[in-house]
Structure formats: C-alpha cells, structure tokens
Amino acid sequence: MSRTKDSAGSGLVELVVIVAVALGLALGIQALLVKPYRIPSESMVPTLEVGQRVLVNRIGKRFSDPHVGDIVVFHPPLGSESDTCGNDQLGENQPCDRPTSRRADINFIKRIVAGPGDTIAVRDGHVIRNGRPQREPYINNTCEGDAGRGCTLADAIRVPAGHWFMMGDNRGESDDSRFWGPVPEGWIIGGAFATYWPPKRLGLL
C-alpha cells in the first residue's frame, strides 16, 4: 500500500513539474520571441483598426536592421503624449528632427517611413523622402485639403544616425515622429508581422 501511495505522490509531483516547466517555456517564448499587442487608437487606420490584435516579433530585430515600410512597436520619447520635440528651436514648417533624451514607459505602433541619413518632409500627408514622393497605397489620407495637424511640413530635416522616423497610416489623425522626433533603434521592441484578432482580419502584415 505504501508503495502505491509513494508512486501516486511522485506521479503528481512529476505532473506539477511538467506543467510548471511548460508554463515557464510558454512565458519565456512570449517574452523573448513573440508578443501580442492590442491596437489602442485610430492612428494606423485603415491598416489596423482599434481593438485589433497583432503579433510582434521581438527576436527578429536582434539579427537584422529595421526597414522603411515596417510596422513596429516601440517606446516613444518622453514627452510624446504632449508632442514635445527635443529641439525647441525647430521651425514651425519642419518635422521634429530630434527626440527628447529619455524614452517613455508606453508603447506605440507606427510605420517606419524614413531611416538613418534620410531626409524627410511631408506634403498633404504624403512622405517626401530624399526629395522623392513615396508610393503609399496603405495610407488613409485624412490630410486631403490639408485638414489635419502636421499634414504639410515642407522644410525637410535629416534623420540622425541610429534613428528611425515613424508615422501612422491615418496621416491626419496620428501623433508620431512629425511632432516628437525620430526614434532611436534601441527603443524599438519589434516588428508587427501578423494580425490574429478579430478572425475576419486574420493574416500577415
């Protein structure tokens, strides 16, 4: 009888250990490899709707640089919620060329529209990168008629080394790098690569 009890007890301990290891691995994978993220605002409409869920690749950025066109989750600079630019001498007709020196403890999701060394201006909501208008079939141009904030910033600035310029696809309704500056690469959490909720929007980005 005692052997049966010991066997049952050891089997229970083994099950608990297996479950704990499996749970630890799942949490580790989520923390290190893939992270779910809920879209909190309309800044990425029509590409991403409010409440939609995406998967963010956390490990990929450790092996390759971001690219213009990527949708990424990142920490914005401190002051982003009040549109604070790190360069207080910036002209009114220019996008912000320098973020504040500290990052905020919040996450944003935007599209990379320019990278290190690029020049960028904005005309009627469209990106002018290195002097050339960009093809942007994914945007919701709520800047038509120059109706939104930051729709035309015609005086180009240069993106500093190691920084990436972010903009929302909903151009007239997005708080982004136009107002608080390019984002240091180290503040990028990862690239959004797929949407999994709601089921009707399931797919790759």
Sequence spans of domains, the chain: 1-32, 35-204
pLDDT at 123 (0 to 100): 93
110 annotated active-site = yes
Which of the following is catalytic: 35, 43, 174, 177?
43
35 annotated active-site = no
Nearest to 41 by CA among 101, 119, 88, 110: 110
Judged by average pLDDT, the poorest of 18-32, 35-49, 153-167 is 18-32
Tell me what the pLDDT averaged over the chain comes to: 85
Q: How many Å apart are CA 54 and CA 132, to the nearest integer?
A: 31
Is 0.85 surpassed by the pTM of this model? no
pLDDT at 27 (0 to 100): 45
Euclidean distance between the first and final Cα of the chain, in Å?
60
Q: How many Å apart are CA 104 and CA 53, to the nearest integer?
A: 22
CB neighbours of 141 closer than 8 A, spacing ≥ 6? 124, 125, 126, 171, 172
Burial degree of 132 (CB within 10 A; 0-12, 13-18, 19+): exposed
Which of the following is catalytic: 80, 110, 174, 177?
110
Q: Which CATH number does 35-204 carry?
A: 2.10.109.10
pLDDT at 34 (0 to 100): 77
- Residue 22's pLDDT band (cuts 50, 70, 90): very low
CB neighbours of 170 closer than 8 A, spacing ≥ 6? 42, 43, 44, 45, 46, 139, 140, 142
Question: Given a cut of 50, is residue 80 above it in pLDDT?
Answer: yes
